[in-house]
Structure 1
């Protein structure tokens, strides 16, 4: 029973970010990001999120707005092997978010600019593992094996779905302190909503001898798990920023403070059943239980330079202080450091109405074996993006971008594979592709 009860950890964070950014933070919210990646020193409307202090240098007073729609598709795969259990299987997980909206707005009047942003700043999709996970198979095989029930004497079916969204609304005020310096202060309200649905059933495939005497007939449930749990929570993020426009050089900086966020369970179904034992619940998913899910603080510093009237480039650095953000089970303690990101982009006005661009990003997490799990794993990566901006009129622009991420496989070898006391290895891998378009309009 001890081995089987470990399944209570099985759905901690199934659905992770389908965006660029840190472990729990989405930074790409606009097609301009997809096509260039480095936008931390922009003075265009997408700066309402990436560089709000830069909005002081919008070209005209009045209203500026942008609507962005993105589609993200991701895979999360595990190549599992444990010789002692006879386990050698490739598990495929898919996550998709076909429609991801973001809205940007600003009203500039003289030295003051009021700005707002709405988007999905964390999570953003649904992850599905139709064949379960290695931890399911390992714990069931190990648990029933301890009762002298061989793996060919039962059938095992399992699945797991998880979804996670953090909806955010940001408001703030930018003030142009001098002709070249501006400052921003504001805040973002975050609403977390997520859910987990999963089931596991191991049934006797042949008649089995019962420990209490007699026979366990074919089809009898040996182990069963059912879970249907929704989670919600609120948190507030203070945001400050500075922008310095020095001729052809523009420098943008932004700091987002840590967001304390707890999520509360609203559980419809939660049962763990094992033949010969009383039915129980998965402790982490009992109704009303609260779990920490903090959004880490984030520092962004960027510089953009205009080499020619038609040629501009930008470099940028992000730091996410993940180790100081509370996670379920204190998981953040197993990180070796916070997340570091390095970004660069370049754009060229091919003709007066058409701009093409390209960019890249390197993401370096502080991963460790104790942090990585079947239900929540990350991989260091590099991202490339390209696209274009089309000037539709003097007041309207269309941005189109495509971004894909190449991940470095993470190999985790354990001498106590999923609590079985046997050695085993999981190789974690991921893919990510995002397409988006945005309409910017000023009036």
Structure 2
């Protein structure tokens, strides 16, 4: 039973992103994305991430710089229904809520354009981006503890009857965090009046960790004996390089663009401060011991987009994303349980009301290839749709700002198993999430 608890805690090495995009990829790197979503055909400074090949078509030579700050707030909730909570023959539901917040996430985009050439660089949180805290623990830990205590024949003999949940208290909590910092550098070249290309790369540095404990103790009426005391505190780091290529085609009022990020081979290494699990075999502890490495690849990512100038002051765009998750290594080959990679569909429109003001709105639909075996309490995802809106304010020829709000509505995911967390008792988890992001970008050209 302790073995299952430890393995469950260690799954926190998988990211729970607070951003738009895939499991380990953030696609919102600029407030222009938040206000319009479909920016894959953008010819602007935010194209450093969304459409780097298009930078060669920027109208003005010189430096184009942008500094962005975002605030992301998310909740994760699990409604756990099983007969384990009381062991009296009745099913009851316990609700667990985790909060994740990232009050300030900075990013920087910069371009220098000279004729047909453009050199670009960026720094951003390219994956993860927050900390999730479940102050009352997680159902997977509580259910395993309850099941293990109930099946402890030695303890039952000492008490004179099986130990049920009304006879003891459980105190537990769990925190997990992950940040993937990305530094990108690349070169764009305009081959002719209608075609440009891009080649570059991104250095990714991962800093993540998880910390949790579970303590179970008999109530004083039954002797006050400590039944269980587990603790896990681990920090992880790793790095990998993402090669990136892109192309942009301008055909009259149309702009067509594509970007492909090659899979990033990435291992994260443990720095374990606490691994307290008495009696657990060494082969079980080894993957989570100090110095051990775990695969956490960033999947290949394809973006294709089309933008169209409806009027001189009205533009629309559509975009498609594909993340090849099933070929990106995860802990215990977890990626193989996915039904398919992630598909995203985006659309956006923007309108220049006056020279000084542009307003815009966007839509994004995210479809994960989820399965029951992929979903865990410590790392679960829900397909969703998102809406974004905002504005750009042009102060003069050099200065402008983007302001935006991005809200996501998630589909609940229901997971029912005949043996809830390997306890032999039927149970159901309903996973749900909420998410909202505010963004502000300051843009400067000279």
Deviations 1:232-282 (A, max 9, x none): 001000000000011111011000000000000001111014xxx589784
Is 1:106 paired with 2:89? no
Counterparts of 2:130 and 2:195 in 1: how far apart (Å)? 39
Distance in 1 separating the partners of 2:420 and 2:300:
34
Name the CA distance, whole Å, in 2 between partners of 1:126 and 1:402. 21
Within the candidate set 191, 195, 202, 1:177 is matched to 191
User: How much has 1:128 moved relative to structure 2?
Assistant: 0.2
Question: For this pair of structures, how many residues does the alignment match?
Answer: 429
Q: 2:327 aligns with which of 318, 324, 327?
A: 324
CA offset digits 1:108-146 (Å, max 9, x no partner) = 011111000110000000000000000111001100010
CA distance in 2, matches of 1:419, 1:397: 56
Structure 1 residue 204 displacement after superposition: 1.5
Structural mapping, 1:19-168, within 5 Å? 19-86=19-86, 87-147=92-152, 148-168=162-182
- Alignment-derived partner of residue 251 in structure 1: 256
**Aligned equivalents of 2:281, 2:411: Cα separation in 1:** 41
String of CA shifts for 1:306-344, please: whole Å, max 9, x gaps.
Answer: 000110000000000000000111100000000000000
Determine if the alignment matches structure 1 residue 416 to structure 2 residue 414. no
CA distance in 2, matches of 1:279, 1:71: 43
Q: Distance in 2 between matches of 1:366 and 1:171?
A: 31
> Which residue is equivalent to 2:156?
none
Q: Which residue of 1 aligns with 2:289?
A: 286
What TM-score results when the alignment is normalised by the length of structure 1? 0.95
| Contact in 2 for aligned 1:55/1:174 (Cα 8 Å) | yes
> Which residue pairs with 2:366 in the alignment?
363
Distance between the aligned counterparts of 1:165 and 1:138, measured in 2?
Answer: 30
**In structure 1, what is the Cα distance between the partners aligned to 2:442 and 2:404?**
12
Measure the CA separation in 2 of the matches of 1:190 and 1:309. Answer: 39
Which whole-Å CA distance do the structure 2 matches of 1:268 and 1:391 have between them? 51
Aligned runs of 1:338-357 on 2, under 5 Å?
Answer: 338-357=341-360
Contact 2:15 2:24 (8 Å CA) reproduced: no
Q: Distance in 2 between matches of 1:268 and 1:150?
A: 33
Aligned counterparts of 2:306 and 2:142: Cα–Cα separation in 1: 50
Please tell me whether residue 5 in structure 1 is matched to residue 3 in structure 2: yes
Q: Quote the Cα distance in structure 2 between the aligned partners of 1:332 and 1:228.
A: 25
Could you tell me how far 1:401 is from its partner in structure 2?
0.6
Which sections of structure 1, spanning at least 5 residues, go unmatched?
209-216
Asked whether the equivalents of residues 272 and 279 of structure 1 are also in contact (C-alpha less than 8 Å), the reply is no
Which range moves more in the overlay, 180-189 or 220-229? 220-229
State the distance in 1 between where 2:7 and 2:34 align. 35
Q: Distance in 2 between matches of 1:435 and 1:131?
A: 28
Task: Please list the CA deviations of residues 349-386 of structure 1 after superposition, one character each: whole Å capped at 9, or x if unmatched.
Answer: 11111000000000001001111110111101000000
CA distance in 1 between partners of 2:307 and 2:385 (Å):
21
Distance 1:96 1:279 in 2: 36
The aligned counterpart of 1:205 is 219
The answer (yes or no) to whether the contact 1:164–1:192 under 8 Å persists in 2 is yes
Contact 2:15/2:23 (<8 A) preserved: no
Contact 2:70 2:439 in 1 (8 A): yes
Structure 2: gaps spanning 5 or more residues: 87-91, 153-161
1:15 positional shift: 4.6
Q: Give the TM-score, by structure 2 length.
A: 0.94
1:214 match: none
SS at match of 2:277: strand
Q: 1:387 aligns with which of 366, 370, 390?
A: 390
SS at match of 1:232: strand
Indicate if the aligned counterparts of 1:54 and 1:182 stay in contact, CA closer than 8 A.
yes
Q: Is the 8 A contact 2:203 2:239 kept in 1?
A: yes
Give the deviation of 1:206 after TM superposition.
Answer: 3.4
- Distance (whole Å) between structure 2 residues aligned to residue 196 and residue 54 of structure 1: 40
Matched position secondary structure for 1:140: helix
Displacement, 1:9?
2.0
Secondary structure of the structure 1 residue equivalent to 2:220: coil
- RMSD (CA atoms): 1.3
Q: Secondary structure at the match of 2:431?
A: strand
Contact map agreement 1:271 1:279 (CA 8 A) in 2: no
Return the alpha-carbon distance in structure 1 between the equivalents of residues 85 and 123 of structure 2. Answer: 49
Rounded Cα–Cα distance in structure 2 between residues aligned with 1:183 and 1:424: 53
Do the aligned partners of 1:271 and 1:282 also contact (CA within 8 Å) in 2?
A: no
Contact kept in structure 2, 1:225 and 1:272, CA below 8 Å: yes
